């Protein structure tokens, strides 16, 4: 029987994960398919039960389920526990094993960009769930992290949880001054999704990495380029976290460059 994999979330219809995973499944000749499966916030338990009854073998997890998916799983990786969220579930008999591949995915994109973060000072913008995965990864990789966030209390609380992490009071305006001292910036906020803009200091050729992509990231990138920043969007991270999930499920690391090209082409069609 064709094995079922998929991504659960709400909304999930626009997810690029089916495009990515189905291309790898076809390349590898696996008898499996990967679907986008909408599950509303309050229906996670019953939704997972239904998927188990349908014989689902592995699931990616996106908003709003990343925290709850960790909670309802019977086994959890150390990385997922440390981040407090799961983006990858693997069937284990009558339960799920929760892992988080956002962390290795994020690190791979930095390595691919030729960046060794050890000893670097990294400015992280935001203090939500995405920031937590980014800060955990940077902290593990021996970077110094400076967190900037609209709500200072969240920045402080995040910084307290990770070695080498600190925060800057003054909300996002602090970026204009303190942002000058960082080696590169990572924007994890959803500010672009609601039409908001960040004010950045002069980039002087430094990297501005926004982990979102497409229309949400575009205005921020044009601002960043205008002020002298090099830019990197979140599409390579999306593909990299998918690749690590695929490796957990199928035991092979798939080709990320062709999947990335497929995603870029798909996004272009949408604009
Ligand atoms: P995610 O899991 O995607 O990180 P989240 O936990 O809701 O989502 O966090 C969203 C982040 O984007 C937070 O850092 C949030 O700032 P606050 O902690 O002050 O809420 C930030 N954010 C969202 N909209 C923003 C806006 N319009 N301006 C500035 N920051 C914003």
Q: Tell me if residue 108 is catalytic.
A: no
Cβ of 87 below 6 Å from ligand 1: no
Which atom belonging to ligand 1 lies closest to the Cα atom of 125?
Answer: 14
Which atom belonging to ligand 1 lies closest to the Cα atom of 126?
Answer: 14
Which atom belonging to ligand 1 lies closest to the Cα atom of 127?
Answer: 14
Cβ of 266 below 6 Å from ligand 1: no
- For atom 21 of ligand 1, the residue with the nearest CA is 189
Mean pLDDT, rounded, for 5-30: 97
Cβ of 129 below 6 Å from ligand 1: yes
The DSSP code for 2 is P
Which atom belonging to ligand 1 lies closest to the Cα atom of 171?
Answer: 19
Cβ of 128 below 6 Å from ligand 1: yes
Cα 19 from Cα 33, distance rounded (Å): 11
Radius of gyration in angstroms for the set of CA atoms belonging to the chain, rounded to a whole number: 19
Compute the residue count for the chain. Answer: 271
Using an 8 Å Cβ cutoff, are 159 and 166 in contact? yes
pLDDT of residue 87: 98
Cα 137 from Cα 145, distance rounded (Å): 10
- By percentage, how much of the chain surpasses pLDDT 90? 94
Q: What's the CA-to-centroid distance between 151 and ligand 1, angstroms? A: 9
Cα 194 from Cα 67, distance rounded (Å): 23
Contacts of 9 (CB under 8 A, 6+ apart): 15, 36, 38, 39, 61, 62, 63, 64, 65
For residue 3, the cross-strand partners are 32
Q: What's the CA-to-centroid distance between 40 and ligand 1, angstroms? A: 21
Cβ of 126 below 6 Å from ligand 1: yes
For residue 158, whether the previous peptide bond is cis, meaning omega lies within 30 degrees of 0, is no
Which string of b and e fits 96-106 if b means at least 16 CB within 10 Å? bbbbbbbbbbb
Cα 245 from Cα 89, distance rounded (Å): 9
pLDDT tens for each residue of 31-47? 999 999 999 999 999 99
Task: Name the pLDDT band for 270 (thresholds 50, 70, 90).
Answer: confident
pLDDT of residue 195: 87
Global confidence as pTM: 0.96
Mean pLDDT, rounded, for 237-264: 98
Task: Name the pLDDT band for 271 (thresholds 50, 70, 90).
Answer: confident
DSSP string, 66-92: HHHHHHH-SEE-HHHHHHT--SEEEEE
Cβ of 150 below 6 Å from ligand 1: yes
- For atom 31 of ligand 1, the residue with the nearest CA is 191
Q: Hunting for tokens 């039960």 — which residue is that?
A: 49
Cβ of 154 below 6 Å from ligand 1: yes
pLDDT tens for each residue of 167-215? 999 999 999 998 899 999 999 999 988 888 999 999 999 999 999 999 9
Beta-strand relationship, 207-210 and 230-232: parallel
pLDDT tens for each residue of 109-160? 999 999 999 999 999 999 999 999 999 999 999 999 999 999 999 999 999 9
């Amino acid at each position: 029987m064709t094995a079922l994999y998929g991504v659960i979330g709400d909304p999930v219809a626009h997810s690029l994960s089916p495009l990515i995973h189905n291309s790898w499944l076809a390349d590898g000749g696996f008898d499996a398919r990967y679907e986008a499966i909408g599950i509303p916030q309050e229906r996670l338990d019953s939704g997972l039960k239904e998927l188990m009854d349908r014989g689902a073998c592995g699931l990616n997890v996106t908003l709003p389920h990343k925290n709850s998916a960790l909670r309802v799983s019977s086994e959890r990786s150390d990385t997922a526990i440390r981040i407090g969220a799961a983006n990858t579930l693997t069937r284990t008999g009558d339960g799920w094993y929760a892992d988080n591949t956002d962390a290795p995915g994020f690190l791979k994109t930095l390595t691919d960009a030729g960046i060794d973060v050890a000893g670097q000072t990294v400015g992280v913008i935001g203090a939500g769930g995405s920031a937590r995965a980014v800060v955990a990864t940077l902290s593990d990789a021996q970077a110094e992290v400076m967190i900037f966030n609209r709500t200072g209390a969240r920045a402080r609380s995040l910084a307290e949880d990770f070695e080498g992490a600190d925060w800057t009071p003054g909300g996002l305006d602090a970026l204009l001054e303190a942002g000058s001292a960082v080696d590169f910036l990572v924007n994890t906020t959803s500010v672009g999704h609601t039409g908001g803009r960040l004010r950045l200091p002069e980039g002087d050729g430094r990297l501005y990495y926004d982990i979102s992509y497409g229309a949400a990231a575009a205005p921020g990138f044009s601002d960043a380029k205008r002020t002298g920043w090099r830019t990197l969007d979140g599409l390579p991270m999306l593909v990299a976290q998918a690749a690590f999930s695929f490796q957990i499920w199928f035991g092979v690391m798939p080709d990320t460059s062709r999947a990335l090209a497929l995603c870029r082409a798909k996004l272009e069609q949408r604009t």
